[in-house]
Chains A and B, each alone.
Chain A
Amino acid sequence: MLTARHLTLSYGPTPALRGASLHLEAGESTALMGASGSGKSSLLHCLAGVLVPDTGDVHLDGVALSGLKDRDRSRLRLERIGVVFQHGDLVPELTVIENVALPLQLLGVKRAEARRRAQDLLAELGVADVADRRTSTVSGGQAQRAAVARAVVHEPAVVLADEPTGALDSLNAEAVMDALTTLVRRTGAALLVVTHDNLVASHLDRLVTLSDGAVVPTGQEAAR
């Protein structure tokens, strides 16, 4: 499904990734842990095709992302990948439902249809009552659930989440993780969640640890 091989990346003189490799399988969920500054977010951005690694490459179903033009990478991301960030990063001026419908609309789904599907999903996540509020006026937990809805509404093949529960209390974190894993399991997508929280990691099938920009080999990994 999604494979990253020997990625290196630096921000100017600061190295962030030093030969990180990772493989995600459809229907499988993975927790990505590691110390602060170990390169987790950088790796996630590379997997999403937002950043292009300095060396190494990322393949999605056999297509090398680094070989694509920016426009095509955007298109691929839009169609096949869903992302959630720590603070949700919803568009503040749009309402919750408009945010969730946005990927569908960008894919060319008619407005009414897009809104209907977004509404269904929001109802399932228990935040239908704030659907018509602007995202700047809803609570952190509600915004985060909306962000999860936005990441999966178009049923992508891969869902990448960077500390989706980092700003939430444990109750809300539990709810968001439940929503995320349930939805992903239903569509059979591959899921990668960056987290510092063992509780969050316990929701997921598998654990990968990053240290100094490289994946720490575990028994499991080494066996592959």
Chain B
Amino acid sequence: MTSVLTLGLRLAWGTREQRLRSVAVAVASALGSGSLLLVWAIARDRLLGAGAFHSEAGFVVVGAVLMVALPVVAMVATVARLQTRGREERLANLRRLGLSAARTRLVAAVEVGVASATGVLLGIPLYLGLGWLTQRIDVTGQPWNPYLFTVPTYGWVGVLLGVLVVAVLVAAWPPTDQNDRSVESDRGRTDDVRRPGLWRLGPLLLGLAVCGWSVLHTFGDYVSDAQAYVILVGVALAGFGLLLAAPVLVRLVADVGVKVARGPVTTIATRRLQARPGSVLRVVATLMAVLVVLAGARGVIAAFQDLPQYEEAERSFSQEQVAEVSASAAEAAGIVATLNETPGVERVIALPMTLVTIEDQDRDDESILAAVATCAELKDAGARVPDCVEGRLLVGDSRPDLLTAKSGTVTALTEPQGPYLEPPDELPNREGPSAGLDLSDAVTVPADDLYDWGVEGGVHLVIPPDAAEIGEVVAATDRQLVVHGPPGRGLTTTLDQAGIWSYSAYDTADYDFGQSMLFLMWALAAVLFVLGLFTVTVALVDRAAARRQENASLRALGTSPGVLRRAQFLEAVVPVLLGTVSAVLVGWFGGNAYLSFGLVDPLPVPWLLLAGSVLGSFVVAGLTVFGIGSDSGPEDVRRG
């Protein structure tokens, strides 16, 4: 037993290559555990802290962590299987020496396990450091909450053990398995060109089918929980399924390529792809995940940004804040004066609010609210009514009875009612003065113009101040004071402190949630990008080493470095291009599937991301070409 352990340890720190590999395993484990913990903490803080959609928040936290878990597994697996060729040979030699399969596996597990455990432990300070830095970032709206910026105990255990277990399993299982075969057959004479099974297409097709159904199906106002979960699972299936299916697609392209290949470059490249269609993809899996997130998560965020509260909050952060204060006719002037002296208030517009009744009005109907304002005042108060005609009544087009009415009565409201969003159910007693109102000459405008503006709720009618006989009513009726402040938040708090009770249309909870999602998305993308870059770099170095012998013998044949480089470029660019472009498309499609919950416009085709993927693929493939065919000294030439 101890001999197996020492052997594993010796192998982990044996040659220079082995040391490099062990360091790579440790770094991958540290990056993996550190970033999983970090994303977990960020997701908890952002989502639970925002408070909105509480029931879904846990679900999203898990989703975010899973999104990172997949690339972490890919990264750790890639790194733990580095230098497989040399390693397999060595392990096969151990088998030939008479070590049992189980003990050989144990040697391999110890070898990688020691490095991985060290890395996982290093992941803790990495997480703490990055977490500290993250909490220095100033996010609009919601400050960081150190009580939420944590990982639950089961999360710690799961992450630290999970990364270690993945590394050990990957190191111990498949290579030793192959060794058993290569020990029996001489010189590993196995057919390594097994076609990737078609079952790999299953999850992708199923996921795409669900997404397609969701995009085509028009949901009513109500999406059931079951439907929502089916769609979310479908989106996830499409994303994960793509990673599973990609080797099949690459193999397909390679098969066609072999058929049409004429020159040596295409023959070499397509044959190599045919032999190992998944090897490059495993490496770019992380980058694919980044693209799925970037292309798809926009859908989730777009769904939030489409909420009116979000838009209102967005406006108050970027343009101006609006709050409302109700005041009786008598108090109004005093309150306006106070408001104008309150720091943080830019201007105040006072609009008289009245109640209108028309003949035959159903008592159960909502009361008809009318503001008294000129077109200029309306505009000043934040309403955009392009059809406004000076001196004419404006009627929203939503109430048929109002549109057909010829005349009515306008009555003063004499008790400030609070937010006019919920007009009084009962028509108030008509103690205030009232006057007849001629409705025959009214201008019909879109109801939304009178509804969606700075004032919460909005009105059905706008009466020009110079309408006949309303002077007395206006003088007695309540005022709605529309208060404008500079962009930002906290106008209502300021007014509170000045002793004025006010209310505001925007809801920071929604906005903060949207912002949190946005931050989470960027954090995820950044973390995944780092993981992806590390995986790609390490794997490329390893590939270059693995290809050294083969390329050296091709060079001895007289193959020019140019041919080798072009073959390598082609071999790399096909799967990377295929992987990244399909990742963007699947992400985009999945995002749209999510958007179909609400009646939100579909996302535009992400051309920029697509163009970036194409460009990036060429850059990555170009990087793989470095060092090929350029032999630095006799030692390197004769290494094969």
Contact = CB atoms under 8 A, between A and B. Distances in A.
Interface stretch (B262-270, B364-372, B609-617): B262-270
B604 interface: no
B558 A91 contact: no
Contact of A70 (B271, B556, B561): B561
Counting chain A CB atoms within 10 Å of each CB, which of B186, B556, B635 scores highest?
B556
A140 B185 CA distance: 12
Contacts of B276: 93
Nearest to B554: A91
Interface stretch (A44-52, A57-65, A171-179, A203-211): A44-52
A40 interface: no
Contact of B191 (A10, A12, A105, A137): A137
A128 interface: no
Nearest to B272: A93
Given A41-B638, A93-B274, A134-B191, A140 B186 contact: yes
B633 to A, nearest CB: 8
B558 A79 contact: yes
Contacts of A79: 558
Contact of B268 (A50, A94, A103, A137): A94
B638 A11 contact: yes
A45 B268 CA distance: 24
B638 A89 contact: no
Interface in B181-206: 186-193
Contact of A74 (B192, B560, B640): B560
B268 A42 contact: no
Contacts of A103: 557-558
B555 A106 contact: no
Nearest to A139: B189
Nearest to A156: B558
A94 B271 contact: yes
Contacts of B193: 93, 134
A106 B268 CA distance: 11
A18 interface: no
A165 B173 CA distance: 36
A10 B638 CA distance: 12
Given A85-B553, A136-B190, A51 B634 contact: yes
Given A75-B558, A93-B271, A150-B557, A102 B264 contact: yes
B557 A140 contact: no
Given A50-B637, A103-B557, A140 B563 contact: no
Interface residues of B, number: 37
A9 B640 CA distance: 18
B637 A91 contact: no
Contacts of B556: 45, 48, 50, 77, 83, 85, 89
A11 B634 CA distance: 6
A74 B559 contact: yes
Contacts of B267: 94, 98, 102, 105
B275 A102 contact: no
A28 B557 CA distance: 21
Interface string B458-491: 0000000000000000000000000000000000
A92 interface: yes
A96 interface: no
Contacts of A51: 634, 637-638
A78 interface: yes
Contacts of A139: 189
Interface string A139-172: 1100000000010000000000000000000000
Counting chain A CB atoms within 10 Å of each CB, which of B262, B264, B549 scores highest?
B264
A84 to B, nearest CB: 10
B121 to A, nearest CB: 38
A136 B634 CA distance: 28
A188 B193 CA distance: 39
A105 B558 contact: no
B507 interface: no
B559 A78 contact: yes
Nearest to A89: B553
A186 interface: no
A78 B557 contact: yes
Contacts of B560: 71, 74-75, 78, 106
Given A51-B634, A51-B638, A98-B271, A136 B192 contact: yes
A9 B559 contact: no
Contacts of A140: 186-187
A111 interface: yes
Contact of A136 (B191, B557, B558, B562): B191
Given A78-B559, A93-B272, A98-B271, A111 B262 contact: yes
Contact of B557 (A83, A98, A111, A138): A83
Nearest to A82: B557
Interface string A3-45: 0000001111000100000000000000000000000011001
A189 interface: no
Contacts of B390: none
B359 interface: no
B563 A106 contact: yes
A117 B379 CA distance: 87
Nearest to A87: B187
Nearest to B263: A105
A77 B557 contact: yes
Interface in B213-228: none
A78 B634 contact: no
Given A41-B638, A92-B550, A134-B193, A102 B187 contact: no
Nearest to A83: B556
8 contacts: A42-B638, A45-B637, A93-B272, A98-B267, A136-B188, A136-B189, A137-B190, A140-B187
Given A137-B191, A150-B557, 12 more contacts: A45-B638, A51-B634, A71-B562, A74-B558, A78-B560, A85-B556, A91-B271, A95-B271, A106-B557, A106-B559, A111-B262, A140-B186
Interface of B: 186-193, 262-264, 267-268, 271-272, 274-276, 549-550, 553-563, 633-635, 637-638, 640
